Chains A and B, each alone.
Chain A
Amino acid sequence: MPDSRFKVLTSASTSGPGDAGRTGSWRVERPILDYSRCIPAKTGKSACHLCWLYCPDNVVSKAIEPKIDLEYCKGCGICAEECPAKAIEMVSEENFVAGGEDE
């Protein structure tokens, strides 16, 4: 145990969405989930959830219809890469800025 005079500042925190700050602002591409392909959504069973498992920022919910918290999703694309059903597509953020094509 450290001496009580010592604070021993380290980088140690509870893992979870937002643990590394507002990482949503880092995003260049946004993951878009297609429930018509997603295994749990299609079967109604709690299955697969590889996106939830692999997301390094812990921002995908482990639900029948997995949801991505865009406040913290940094757009790394790991979920899209790991999805066995190709249900996640990475779409350029340009499409979502005000005045862009989709908004």
Chain B
Amino acid sequence: MSEKLIDSGNNAAAMAVQLAAAEVIAAYPITPQTPLTEKLSELIAAGEMDAEYVAVESEHSALGVCIGAASAGVRAFTATSSNGLLYMSEQLHWAAGARLPMVMCVVNRGIGAPWSVWNDHQDAMSQRDAGWIQLFAKDHQEIVDITLKAFRLAELVHIPVMVNYDGYYLSHTYMPFELPDAAVVKEFLPAYEYAHALDPQKPESLNTVTLPDSRNDINGVKQPGYMDIRHNLHQEMRLAMDVLEEIDADYQQRFGRGGTPIIDPYCCEDADYIVVAMGTLANQFRDVVDRLRQEDGLKVGVLALQIYRPFPTAKIAEALQSAKGVMVYEKGLSYGNQGALYADLKSALYPYPARPQLHNFIVGLGGRDIRTEDLCQTLKSACLQDDLSSPEQTDTPQWIGLQL
């Protein structure tokens, strides 16, 4: 039976991992992720989850253990935040290049220095080129659903998947959500099998020095070179979006929730102005959209991006073709340039006939309060703005909520 609960986002994630029957959990505590892995270790200690909990001395080792587990054909899970994710960075690239499926929850938090334990998206954005699939949840129900889909996705496409959710906004707040029936989850998520699983009876060299050129192995079989392997990772990461949609359709059929695994539009059909945002910020904008439609008669909508890597280039560009203006609000940036999401979106739109006026807003870094009032004001004035500013001015991100 499915179960309705009111619990924290971290506990929702832990229960999803329990349902997914992960077999190895290796994690190092870091705020705001800690309660998630504490909950998993409790479940294992109480005999409610049949998994090995490996207590490690660092995040680098945590992902190393998951890489080992996945290499042995075992379903692995880890979770982290902020500087912990950055400490894993080398291993992130390794897991992706080795095509090892695993799932990691990243409970998004600002990166030090200066030290911050509060939310923004800079941790995930900084790892966007590591070769991991990056999904973003907007509420507790999505944490559960996306985590379950993430395991199946990772194992079908053999690419590791990061499930991002906002620190504190989701990790520590309580919300109602439904936990799917364990027996149906088992059907949805078959056991993980790995063709190259470590086996002493069948020794193989895995990811050893791979020469620039392809070569014949000792059996005379042509083996790809480094560049071929990396090209395949890129191609199959793009293809993974189709697989995610198929998985989502199956999930929807079994559990009744889904339909928007790539982009999740709200009031976008007739919208002249569309906000693009990720995570809880996109949900906060639903209130803003309702208000501006009601009070100001502005045809606005918000489009939540549910997947950041691979970037859904065509889907998002097509969804914005009839908009006059697009406002990208984000909790991170590429220092010295612009918001990373904004830059990606701009490049996605370039080959398309309609290039709506774009605006970039940086909000909520290191947990700076994101006031709905400020979102209303800035969105409204961006909608009403006559295009009088210089190209450079329009292309410069505006910071909201600065206290200088």
Contact = CB atoms under 8 A, between A and B. Distances in A.
Contact of B203 (A1, A10, A11, A15): A15
Interface in B202-227: 203-211, 215, 217-219, 221, 223-224, 226
A9 B208 contact: no
Nearest to A72: B218
B334 interface: no
B158 A2 contact: yes
Contact of B158 (A8, A13, A19): A8
A42 to B, nearest CB: 31
26 contacts: A1-B155, A1-B195, A2-B156, A2-B195, A5-B239, A6-B236, A6-B239, A7-B236, A8-B99, A9-B99, A9-B224, A9-B233, A10-B206, A10-B207, A10-B229, A12-B204, A12-B207, A13-B205, A13-B217, A13-B221, A14-B203, A14-B218, A17-B218, A19-B205, A20-B209, A21-B211
Given A6-B158, A10-B196, A15 B205 contact: yes
B215 A21 contact: yes
Contacts of B236: 6-8
B204 A14 contact: yes
Interface of B: 98-99, 155-158, 193, 195-196, 203-211, 215, 217-219, 221, 223-224, 226, 228-229, 232-233, 236, 239, 243
Contacts of A10: 98-99, 196, 206-207, 229
Contacts of B157: 2-3, 6
Given A2-B156, A12-B204, 10 more contacts: A3-B157, A6-B157, A9-B229, A10-B206, A11-B226, A13-B221, A18-B217, A18-B218, A20-B208, A21-B211
Interface of A: 1-3, 5-21
* Interface core residue of A1, A5, A10 (most chain B CB under 10 Å): A10
